[in-house]
Amino acid sequence: MNRVRQPFNVNNLALAGALAALDDHEFLNASYELNRNGMAQIVAALERLKLEYIPSYGNFVTFRAGDGAAVNQKLLKQGVIVRPIGGYGLPEWLRVTIGTERENARFIEALEKAL
């Protein structure tokens, strides 16, 4: 069974929670606004830092960090986790997930120190 299981699959409890969340329009709207505002916050910082990024409509932004592995290590030492994507042939790029305003500010501060 595990050999044919898709990566990142969810269990029944998570599926039930997702279905309930889809019926909660207030939650959906709040989540959408949180992501939209967080995206604007991170993109503004990347532009201010003159870092190239890939426009996204998801809950993450992929950006060119120079030496992606080195910047990732510097971020990790500051307690900030991003996704290096060198394994996909993009060693200069990192991916960051959109968070709350406070989490995004923490990421931006750490990124400024890491560059």
Q: Indicate whether 42 belongs to any domain.
A: yes
pLDDT at residue 22, rounded to an integer = 84
In a domain, 1, yes or no: no
Read off the pLDDT of each residue in 18-39 and give the average, rounded to a whole number: 90
> What is the DSSP-derived secondary structure letter of residue 60?
E
Each residue's pLDDT tens digit, 33-44? 999 999 999 999
Residue 6 lies in a domain: no
Task: Please indicate, yes or no, if residue 36 is contained in any of the structural domains.
Answer: yes
Question: Which pair of tokens denotes residue 112?
Answer: 């400024």
Q: Name the domain count of the chain.
A: 1
Q: Which of 17-21, 36-40, 55-59, 93-97 has the lowest mean pLDDT?
A: 17-21
Q: pTM above 0.75?
A: yes
Flag whether 37 is in a domain.
Answer: yes
Write the CATH number for 50. Answer: 3.90.1150.10
Range of the domain at 93: 12-114
Task: Tell me the pLDDT band of 78, cut-offs 50, 70 and 90.
Answer: very high
34 within some domain: yes
Position 60 in a domain: yes
**Phi/psi class of residue 25: alpha, beta or left (left: φ > 0; alpha: ψ in -120 to 50)?**
alpha
Q: Please check whether residue 5 lies inside any domain of the structure.
A: no
The reported pLDDT for the residue numbered 5 is 65
- Is 105 exposed, middle or buried (CB count within 10 Å of its CB: 0-12, 13-18, 19+)? middle
